[in-house]
Amino acid sequence: MILNDIITQLQMAAPEDFAQDWDNVGLLVGDRKQDIQKIFIALDANETAIAQAKAVGAQLLLTHHPLIFSPLKKVNCDNFISARVVELLRSQMSYYAMHTNFDAAKMGELAAERMDLNVEAPLADIFTRDGKDYGIGVVGSLKESETLGGLCAVVKEAFGLDTVKLFREETGPISRVAICPGSGKSTIGDAIAAGAQVLITGDIDHHSGIDAAAQGLSIIDAGHYGIEHIFIGYMEQYLKEHLEGVEIFAQERRDPFIVL
């Protein structure tokens, strides 16, 4: 299948113009006319993902996080980012990223499904297309209220986690919850404004966490990778359903850190 036809299908899942202005999504490396027989899906375009994609003979690497954020002035092996681009080109492998466009189109709702959350609205950076609201994260209500400890257990079960970090505001039963997969510090104010009792997200630093708790918002930090790894499984299933004659490979889950 020609890459440009695959891109058309990817755009149906998450249009590139859904991405935020600072982001860099779409075809970052490669030729739209390239014939694609195998696709490898990962969260990050690091050396491991590129090597695994090469090992299965993939002609396209698809990730959530973009490899290239800042402009590259030189494409050589002196810098680890440009060295990855060189390796992709050497391997005749194209590379496509779906980041905040996927966040806006799918990620919050996918996370909410795992939490059995009734979604009411997007959480932040809301815009409307074809009569539907999209944005970063979601806010809604649990089908059954939980204690804070019970909700932590639900989060761990939903996303396959051994641990979470809790910034706690003592409250009664939890029913109204916001979710922002990835790095959600910037959505703390939105969660408070939406009346959420708890924000489930990642990458929360000490001061942001305790300041949120002081304002009545508990935070369950499930990690950046801890929630966003759901991108891989979703896109694997989506592409298998929508692309004929193309083999789809998905990176096995492996947290990029260990807790000792």
CA–CA separation, 108 vs 199, rounded Å?
A: 12
What pLDDT does 167 receive? 97
* Entry pTM: 0.96
CA–CA separation, 97 vs 61, rounded Å?
A: 8
What pLDDT does 111 receive? 98
What pLDDT does 141 receive? 97
Q: Based on the fold, state whether residues 219 and 244 are members of the same structural domain.
A: no
Please report, for the domain that includes residue 93, its CATH number.
3.40.1390.30
Let me know if residue 256 belongs to a domain: no
Let me know if residue 233 belongs to a domain: yes
Let me know if residue 108 belongs to a domain: yes
Let me know if residue 258 belongs to a domain: no
Domain count within the chain: 2
Q: Based on the fold, state whether residues 41 and 129 are members of the same structural domain.
A: no
Residue span of the structural domain in which 73 resides: 3-99+229-250
Let me know if residue 139 belongs to a domain: yes
Q: Based on the fold, state whether residues 59 and 114 are members of the same structural domain.
A: no
Residue with tokens 């966040």: 103
Residues shown for the chain: 260
What pLDDT does 117 receive? 96
Give every residue of the chain whose pLDDT is below 50, as ranges: none
Q: What does residue 243 show for φ and ψ, rounded to 5 degrees?
A: -120, 125
Nearest partner of 151 among 124, 136, 172, judged by Cα:
172
